[in-house]
């Protein structure tokens, strides 16, 4: 297939581009710069948010667009999430109205808000951050427009992503930084909250697999389907990397808006991965 990947040089995008290329696809990469993108991709200088109604043709009429581009994804209450929302929708609308028949967009478990248990495509959403509100609104708008244009739409719902620990701005990257600075103790919460962890390379494989087929659409959880406590996962991360640092449990209170246990229902992605 000819696949357009936006946000191609982002934390997830670089791995998705590589995975698609390894599977023999032609990849058009769209981003601001390409210093970390596989050189086998075709780099585009087209501005996603220029408002061109013929942007689908300008990108060479790809078979599928995987829209990963997003600013400040780790800063959940940045004003840019709301400011950029109309630009993302305009891009997607222009692609679909221009003739695109298959759109894949990166979403987030944060769309759901506070929730205990597994998340599936029917779980009600009550987003409680600007990031989550923007993603949830874009999902609703995209699904509506795709239905109007009779296009396949797959909304990827991501969970707790691991890997590439110096770039991901998570608790794991902070532990790497602290260990590299020679610190022996790391202030931590209770560590009891349970999340759905997935390595970024596995996430990229799942995203590419979703985009490679059209039978299973709608909201698709890209996840492990297995809840693991944050404390357990961080302890194993420290051991795996042989860091001489220990967690100071209870140094920080657990955040009131963090779900005690939240994970993805992996039924759809398991079915997709069977044939990938």
Q: How far apart are CA 123 and CA 121, in angstroms?
A: 6
Q: Which of 131, 159, 160, 195 is catalytic?
A: 131
| Total Cβ atoms within 10 A of residue 55 | 21
131 labelled catalytic: yes
> 66-93 burial by CB neighbour count: b if 16+ within 10 A, else e?
bbbbbeebeebebeebeebbeebebbbb
Catalytic residues: 131
């Amino acid at each position: 297939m000819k696949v357009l990947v936006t946000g191609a040089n982002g934390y997830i995008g670089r791995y998705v581009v590589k995975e698609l290329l390894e599977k023999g696809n032609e990849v058009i990469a769209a981003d601001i710069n390409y210093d970390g993108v596989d050189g086998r991709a075709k780099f585009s200088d087209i501005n996603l948010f220029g408002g061109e109604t013929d942007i689908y043709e300008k990108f060479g009429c790809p078979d599928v667009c995987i829209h990963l581009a997003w600013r400040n994804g780790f800063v959940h209450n940045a004003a840019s999430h709301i400011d950029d929302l109309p630009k993302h929708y305009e891009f997607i609308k222009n692609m679909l109205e221009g003739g695109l028949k298959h759109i894949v967009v990166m979403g987030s478990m944060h769309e759901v808000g506070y929730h205990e248990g597994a998340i599936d495509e029917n779980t009600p959403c009550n987003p409680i951050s600007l990031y989550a509100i923007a993603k949830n609104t874009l999902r609703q708008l995209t699904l509506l427009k795709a239905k109007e244009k009779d296009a396949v739409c797959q909304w990827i719902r991501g969970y707790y992503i691991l890997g590439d620990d110096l770039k991901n701005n998570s608790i794991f990257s902070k532990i790497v930084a602290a260990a590299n600075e020679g610190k022996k103790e790391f202030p931590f919460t209770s560590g009891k909250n349970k999340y759905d962890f997935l390595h970024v390379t596995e996430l990229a494989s799942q995203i590419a697999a979703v985009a490679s087929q059209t039978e299973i659409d709608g909201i698709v959880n890209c996840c492990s389907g297995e809840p693991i406590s944050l404390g357990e996962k961080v302890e194993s991360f420290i051991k795996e990397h042989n860091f001489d640092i220990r967690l100071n449990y209870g140094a920080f209170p657990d955040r009131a808006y963090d779900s005690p246990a939240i994970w993805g229902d992996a039924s759809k992605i398991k079915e997709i991965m069977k044939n990938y």
